[in-house]
Amino acid sequence: VTTLFGLRSSGNCYKIALCLTQLGLPFVWHDMDMASGENRSAEFKRINPLGKVPAVKLTNGECLFESNAILAYFAEGTSLWPAEKLARARVLQWMFFEQYSHEPYVAVARYICNNLAADHPRRAELPRCMQRGHEALQVMDQHLADKTFFVGETYSVADIALYAYTHVAAEGGFDLALYPAIGAWLKRVAAVPNHLAIG
Ligand SMILES: N[C@@H](CCC(=O)N[C@@H](CS)C(=O)NCC(=O)O)C(=O)O
């Protein structure tokens, strides 16, 4: 079966667990010991030279990293990956948005709040995370005002990619009550069959 190298608390890793669960594809977690530097070991760098999680080892022995590339790999040929060319590009549009304009702020704020001491110097990043994170959440809320899911009214890996850190954004200090369309979408995503909770 597929091996998922990751951290249970990580939204990027959760994306893969949720996708594989909903596709009914068996996998085993390899829980990484980041504190002791397992991700920096020569052995893991053969799996992901960046030393980051998630990474997967496929049943054919091939390895893949970058959460959204892993989602695309497993989703192809399923209902989570549109058959139509423009819809497919729109799924990618929202997945690139997630990595460049959302995750670096929404996920990083959560990481800082959950993991770093009150006097840690990285706390200085929080105001920028809040500002840019709110910009991303506003874009999502506007887009979702008249839509069921991110692309073409059909649940796709774009929804999985954006759900991962949005549904736990409050842990980073974001007030999701400001975004009613996001709130309604989060409920719809959580109601998709075979949903899996983070953690
Ligand atoms: N763009 C990557 C981000 C991966 C990433 O930043 N992973 C974090 C955990 S969420 C990590 O492994 N951090 C440890 C490190 O960078 O040493 C993805 O989407 O997979």
Q: What is the pLDDT of residues 45-76, one digit of tens each?
A: 999 999 999 999 999 999 999 999 999 999 99
Tell me which residues have their CB closer than 6 angstroms to ligand 1.
Answer: 7, 10, 12, 39, 51-54, 66-68, 99
pTM of the entire structure? 0.98
Q: Are 47 and 55 in contact (CB under 8 A)?
A: yes
Q: Model confidence over 116-162: pLDDT tens digits? A: 999 999 999 999 999 999 999 999 999 999 999 999 899 999 999 99
Task: Report whether the peptide linkage leading into residue 26 is cis, meaning its omega lies within 30 degrees of zero.
Answer: no
Number of H helices, E strands in the chain: 8, 4
Q: Which DSSP letter does residue 156 get?
A: -
Q: How far, in Å, from the CA of 73 to the mean position of ligand 1?
A: 18
Rounded CA separation 199/38 (Å)? 20
pLDDT score of 130: 98
